[in-house]
Amino acid sequence: MAYPGSFDHQSNVNPAQLTRGGQLNAAGDARALYLKLFSGEMFKGFQNNTIARDLVMKRTLKGGKSLQFVYTGRTTAEYHVPGQSILGNDQGAPPVAEKTITCDDLLISSAFVYELDEVLSHYDLRSEISRKIGYALAEKYDRLIFRQIAKGARQASPVAKANFVEPGGTQVRVGTNDALSDAYSATALINAFYDAAAAMDEKGVSQDGRVGVLNPRQYYALIQQVGENGLVNRDEQGTSRQKGNGIVEIAGIKIYKSMNIPFLGNYGTKYGTTGGTTDAGVASPGNTGSFVGNDSALEDGGGVTGMNNNYGEANAFDTTCGLIFQREAAGVVEAIAPQVQVTSGDVSVIYQGDVILGRLAMGADFLNPAACVELYASATAPSAFGTTYPANT
């Protein structure tokens, strides 16, 4: 109630005159634009930190739990005998096989943002958190795909009919010293790339979309050799080749660097100064934190709830040191593309803040083993792991 001579702010302010920076065209949800801003930041964070998603076959999954991929093998040609009926190949060729990729459980990354913290913060708290959520999802996405490409390199083709067997995966040894440190030898890597290119040619794999993924130290070892041996993309020089965004090329294979490839029983890097068969002979730069150079970082695929595809056991990648593949190497099915959800309304009032959630639902597996090449630094190639856990045999 307003008393004579007093000024009642509430009774004199028309709600329609309020400027709400989060509303779209001054109508509807007062936070609508804020949520759209955050969603964009999360997806940008995802896109900027994933490379595998655009290098393999990606399909959208709707109305089912898995997606079927059909393989058609080859057939033969023969001369026609005059007067003989033509009734098709007498061996039932071409043979047909299938591969099914199942969607894993919902993958999430979340954070709770307290409203008072936002008020007191001198920087955009939500935007920063959004990027980190995007990074976490992208990292997991790449890691799962790369593990399946390594798996495919160890497999025979699903088309296995007698006399019509299709080519399978390829494993190429890097170096000849039976030492993990061979993984960083530029000369050994270049030779391995040419071996891989020849193997894919021999197995009938298209040259279109061939890529290689190495760890950063391997990549930098290669680009230092560009001017000397002429084997690596001599058209790119100066600062252009220093950026590490796939500008180096060997035998028509475009090279990327990533910390998410399975590498000597870890992800991206492996430290140790003794060299030989026990470590890579690379000194740690120190202060690497909790997420770099951790021997337990390569999680056990058989013990993680929510994984419905076989991504391999932790020790399956102890000597793996790089991947070369063509886009048919692996497939990804997405039931829920990377997106964001934010609480609002009564929930925000009760907790005086919002839960910010990034999520996606995907699954990955190899498709065409002939398009998969695994590099390894050891006297013996890594063993195939089977279709059920714990099957690393």
Give the CA-trace dihedral at 161, 386, 50, 70, to 10 degrees.
20
pLDDT in tens, 343-367: 888 888 888 888 889 999 999 999 9
- Can you say how many angstroms the Cα of residue 204 is from the centroid of all Cα atoms in its chain? 25
- 99, β-bridge pairs: 69
With left for phi above 0 and alpha for psi between -120 and 50, is residue 188 left, alpha or beta? Answer: alpha
Chain segment 72-108, per-residue pLDDT in tens: 877 888 888 898 888 777 777 788 888 888 999 999 9
CA pair distance 30, 20, nearest whole angstrom: 6
Task: Using the predicted structure, report yes or no on whether residue 149 has a pLDDT greater than 70.
Answer: yes
First-to-last CA distance in the chain? 81
| Residue 31: pLDDT over 80 | no
State the CB neighbour count (10 A cutoff) for residue 14: 6
Q: What is the structure's pLDDT at 392?
A: 37
pTM of the model: 0.81
State which CATH number among 2.60.40, 1.20.1050, 3.90.1690, 3.40.50 fits the domain covering 32-75+93-376.
3.90.1690
pLDDT digits (tens, 9 = 90+) for 11-29: 565 666 666 666 777 777 7
For CA atoms 113, 116, 118, 120, the dihedral sign is: negative
pLDDT digits (tens, 9 = 90+) for 197-233: 999 999 999 999 999 999 999 998 888 776 555 455 5
